[in-house]
Chains A and B, each alone.
Chain A
Amino acid sequence: MTAMSWIIAGLFLPLFPLGMVFNVLFQRVRNAWLRSILLLVWPFVGLGVLQLMPVNVSAEITAWALFSAALYGFRAVVVRDIGVWIGFLATSSWSLIWIALAGGINPDQMAMQVLAFSLPLVLLVLVTAELQQRYESAYAGIVSGIAQGQPRLSAIFVISLLAAIGSPVFPSFFVMLSSITNIIIVLPAAAFGVAVVWLLWSWSGMQLLQELLVGPASAIKHSDITPSVTTTYTLSLVALLVGGLYLSGTIL
């Protein structure tokens, strides 16, 4: 594998500091649909490079990927801008694809694993856009008390966020479980590291929720999402749950 291929792979399956490129781009793009496309396409470019030039992931690359995942997971703990948070979580989760490669993952399953990480984030981007439309900002702390003001929107936001941070039985839960299972014997320290990254996601996700949901409702009345929009999001979440159960049968 050439140096250029390494850089491209490290850029699209982000390894620090190359992950910064994605985050700059993600923060510049404000449109929710473009952000969603970015979340869906970006890691697949990396996967494409790896499939064109199969790579043997060394212990150094594994350590670097784990460091990148942990770094973005750790930094996400104090992020209150939901857009930035989504970017950090995407960077952190895609870095773990390298660990899955080190664990000898079947190449056919890689795409599913990437989707398991990206789809909940896409949903979160769309829900965040709803929030931004109402409050002109998606900054937890500045926007707060949405559980009181917009109960339907907050319920969808909570479940989407839980899906993104690897809660059961969403696809990312099974991907994390499978990654740890595959590497625990060959790289026990890395398995422990992945578990810690998972803990950091939980920490940061709940911190964000807390700031956003809790508190009195905004003095200015904002509308909630309509029942039909709620149903659409709910069906998407149910599809994710079903996808998680399907994935469990494939990767575990």
Chain B
Amino acid sequence: MQQLILLVIVLPFASAVLTQLFSARPGKRRTASLSVTVAWLVFACAAVTLWLALSGSAVSEYELMNDWGIIRFDPLSTLMCMVIASISLIVHLYSVRYMVEEPDYARFFALLDAMTGTLLLMVAAGDLITLLIAWHLVGILLYFLLGYDTRSRPASRYAFWTWITYRLGDLPLLLAAVLLYQAFGSWSLTVIFDRIAAAPETQTVLGLPLVEVVGALVALAAFARSAQLMLHTWLPYTMGGPTPVSALMHAGIVNAGGFLINRFAPLFIHTSDILHWVFLVGLATAVFGSVLMLSQNDIKKSLGYSTMGQMGFMIMECGVGAFSLAIYHLIAHGLFKGTLFLGAGGVIGEARKDDGVPKDPLYDFVVEKNPARNRKPWLLMAAMTLMVPAVILVFAHWLVSENFYQKQGAVVLLFFGWVTGAQLIFSTYHMHTGNISRLVSQVILSFAVVVLGYTVISHAFDVFLYPNADFRESLYAAAGINEFWFDTLVVLVTAIIIAGWLRTYYSERNGRTGKRALRPLWLGFYALISREFYISDLYVLLARRFEVFAVRLNVWLRWI
């Protein structure tokens, strides 16, 4: 039955070819019907393979070529296949009507099927060559999906940005793959990971430690694919493509970085510093993406930066050793971001009739910045915010593991829970309600969701994806830092969060007063973020210089 995973991969490619072949025949809907039927079939097969993995079927591999073309059936591949098949099915169903008036309707479905097949191949690849092929093909297909409207030059230009960033990200993965092959003489991931476990001290070029070099290269490839800071400029601008493509890209393709780091988890457990860098890059991306998301007035661009921020969180989770949480995050993010994109058109349509902004105290506080003096339960809410981490710890200690307090990764996750819980409580607090008991019960419910999300669900993912407890420990250990620095950071971040709350309380009590001195600073900062920190401008400038130099060289050499 595990062979079903082969069908999951083959079906979309077959559908792509058939859809294109039948495109010449009349009847647009018939073309789409074939593609959608196959999407349903792929979904059903992916569901069965996931069920098999959940019921404890052993990891197996199917080799189609000599030492490559290996398809892997394991928890990670089956889970990711299910995610991709689900998102692809939703996008297919949505596209049937959404794209019906577009020319080349069949081409769209053929490309969509080819992309689905390639993504499925990527997550089920059991060797480096197959992984490289799929990794490379995703970039090519995405270029053609984003540039689907061949009349639109801007769409094509931004599709090119995406393409070149993806190709840039292909190179580190390529180098990592060939270094691993040269060290261990095989392309098979299973063989390579076994040999790394047996000889983690293996050295590579220039006497450098292999796992550190390859870990850094894999992380770089993941950064390019998941739009991490300085490799992100393609993401917010690729909104010229059809909405279903944006949904597929933001819900599925961009998550590939988190998947890749998970796929190489057996390598990362032997690294010493790489995961710290991964954490820092993720942190910077999360902050940068979130700041820019808040400053956009274009809903799609705002969603683009929101994705960037979320990708930062996902990579950050990998950086603290919470690999399986990153998978949970990418699934959750995929579902909600896909929904947002597919609903964006409707929201824009509604907004043309009514801006939907309520003229209530929340609007006054968030938009008008007026103080809301009549809010009474502030202290209760603040107290609950402080209770969040304590109760999470107790729950985790009780449900997950007795030494939960001693795990650095767990404490970092606790911070995620704390910040998210505090944010939820803050939002709930500002909800307009006269019923205080209802408000408090909502807060408790939200809080319960956070506790479940960050401990029980992440633990369930941990156990499914990495059943070996020692391996899970090794992941957290690889991400761990010196105890003194860890405690210092905990205190520092706690102080920042509490200071933020105090600042919010102060603003709420006093409105805009006392802000004038800081106004020029804020204006300067706003100017900076309105130009998106000039990063895209810098890249455009560099690309133009590069091209001008090439033209001069060609003129000098007479174009021969």
Chain A residues near B14 (CB, 8 Å)?
Answer: none
Chain B residues near A202 (CB, 8 Å)?
Answer: 163-164, 167
Closest 6 CB pairs of A and B: A147-B150, A168-B133, A23-B560, A188-B205, A214-B156, A78-B550
Tell me the nearest residue of chain A to B154, going by C-beta.
A214
Q: Which of B170-178, B258-266, B401-409, B451-459 contacts A (4 or more CB under 8 A)?
A: B170-178
**Given A74-B553, A78-B551, A185-B182, 17 new contacts (CB under 8 A):** A20-B560, A24-B560, A78-B554, A168-B132, A168-B133, A177-B178, A181-B178, A184-B179, A185-B205, A195-B174, A195-B175, A202-B164, A203-B164, A210-B160, A215-B151, A216-B151, A252-B187
Nearest chain A CB to B150's CB is how many angstroms away?
4
A191 beta carbon closer than 8 Å to chain B: yes
Nearest chain B CB to A157's CB is how many angstroms away?
13
Chain A residues near B206 (CB, 8 Å)?
Answer: 188
In the complex the two chains form, what is the Cα distance from A75 to B546 in whole Å?
A: 10
| Structural contact, B175 and A215, CB atoms closer than 8 A | no
Chain A residues near B157 (CB, 8 Å)?
Answer: 210
Nearest chain B CB to A150's CB is how many angstroms away?
11
Known A77-B550, A181-B182; contact A84-B205, beta-carbon cutoff 8 A: no
B66 beta carbon closer than 8 Å to chain A: yes
A207 beta carbon closer than 8 Å to chain B: yes
Residue among B132, B156, B174, B560 with max Cβ neighbours from chain A (10 Å): B560
Chain B residues near A147 (CB, 8 Å)?
Answer: 150
| Structural contact, A20 and B557, CB atoms closer than 8 A | yes
In the complex the two chains form, what is the Cα distance from A49 to B168 in whole Å?
A: 36
Known A184-B178, A206-B164; contact A214-B68, beta-carbon cutoff 8 A: no
A192 beta carbon closer than 8 Å to chain B: yes
| Structural contact, B554 and A168, CB atoms closer than 8 A | no
In the complex the two chains form, what is the Cα distance from A41 to B178 in whole Å?
A: 32
User: 8 Å CB contacts to B: which residues of A184-234?
Assistant: 184-185, 188, 191-192, 195-196, 198-199, 202-203, 206-207, 210, 213-216
Chain A residues near B367 (CB, 8 Å)?
Answer: none
Known A27-B560, A184-B205, A185-B205; contact A78-B150, beta-carbon cutoff 8 A: no
Binding site for A on B (CB under 8 A): 65-68, 104, 129, 132-133, 136-137, 140, 143-144, 147, 150-153, 156-157, 160, 163-164, 167-168, 171, 174-175, 178-179, 181-182, 187, 204-206, 546-547, 550-551, 553-554, 557, 559-560
Nearest chain B CB to A224's CB is how many angstroms away?
12
A140 beta carbon closer than 8 Å to chain B: no
| Structural contact, B147 and A181, CB atoms closer than 8 A | no
User: Could you say which of B66, B136, B156, B179 contacts A249, with CB atoms under 8 Å apart?
Assistant: B66
Chain B residues near A24 (CB, 8 Å)?
Answer: 560
| Structural contact, A249 and B65, CB atoms closer than 8 A | yes
Chain A residues near B168 (CB, 8 Å)?
Answer: 199
Chain B residues near A162 (CB, 8 Å)?
Answer: 140
Tell me the nearest residue of chain B to A187, going by C-beta.
B205
User: 8 Å CB contacts to B: which residues of A72-98?
Assistant: 74-75, 77-79, 81, 84
In the complex the two chains form, what is the Cα distance from A88 to B65 in whole Å?
A: 34
A245 beta carbon closer than 8 Å to chain B: yes
| Structural contact, A215 and B560, CB atoms closer than 8 A | no
Nearest chain A CB to B213's CB is how many angstroms away?
10
| Structural contact, A252 and B550, CB atoms closer than 8 A | no
A109 beta carbon closer than 8 Å to chain B: no
User: Could you say which of A71, A78, A180 contacts B175, with CB atoms under 8 Å apart?
Assistant: A180
Known A75-B554, A177-B178, A203-B164; contact A248-B68, beta-carbon cutoff 8 A: yes
In the complex the two chains form, what is the Cα distance from A196 to B163 in whole Å?
A: 15
User: 8 Å CB contacts to B: which residues of A18-70?
Assistant: 20, 23-24, 27
| Structural contact, B129 and A248, CB atoms closer than 8 A | yes
Chain A residues near B133 (CB, 8 Å)?
Answer: 168-169, 173
Nearest chain A CB to B71's CB is how many angstroms away?
15
A107 beta carbon closer than 8 Å to chain B: no
Nearest chain A CB to B142's CB is how many angstroms away?
12
A145 beta carbon closer than 8 Å to chain B: yes
| Structural contact, B553 and A181, CB atoms closer than 8 A | no
Chain B residues near A177 (CB, 8 Å)?
Answer: 129, 132, 174, 178
Tell me the nearest residue of chain B to A189, going by C-beta.
B205
A167 beta carbon closer than 8 Å to chain B: yes
In the complex the two chains form, what is the Cα distance from A84 to B560 in whole Å?
A: 8
Chain A residues near B144 (CB, 8 Å)?
Answer: 158
Tell me the nearest residue of chain B to A16, going by C-beta.
B557
User: Could you say which of A180, A185, A213, A245 contacts B150, with CB atoms under 8 Å apart?
Assistant: A213
Chain B residues near A81 (CB, 8 Å)?
Answer: 559
In the complex the two chains form, what is the Cα distance from A81 to B559 in whole Å?
A: 10
Chain A residues near B65 (CB, 8 Å)?
Answer: 245, 248-249
In the complex the two chains form, what is the Cα distance from A169 to B546 in whole Å?
A: 30
Chain B residues near A195 (CB, 8 Å)?
Answer: 171, 174-175
| Structural contact, A181 and B550, CB atoms closer than 8 A | no
In the complex the two chains form, what is the Cα distance from A116 to B417 in whole Å?
A: 54
Nearest chain B CB to A87's CB is how many angstroms away?
8
| Structural contact, A252 and B150, CB atoms closer than 8 A | no
User: Could you say which of B140, B160, B164, B550 contacts A74, with CB atoms under 8 Å apart?
Assistant: B550
A133 beta carbon closer than 8 Å to chain B: no
Chain B residues near A185 (CB, 8 Å)?
Answer: 182, 204-205
Nearest chain B CB to A237's CB is how many angstroms away?
13
Known A199-B167, A199-B168, A206-B163; contact A77-B174, beta-carbon cutoff 8 A: no
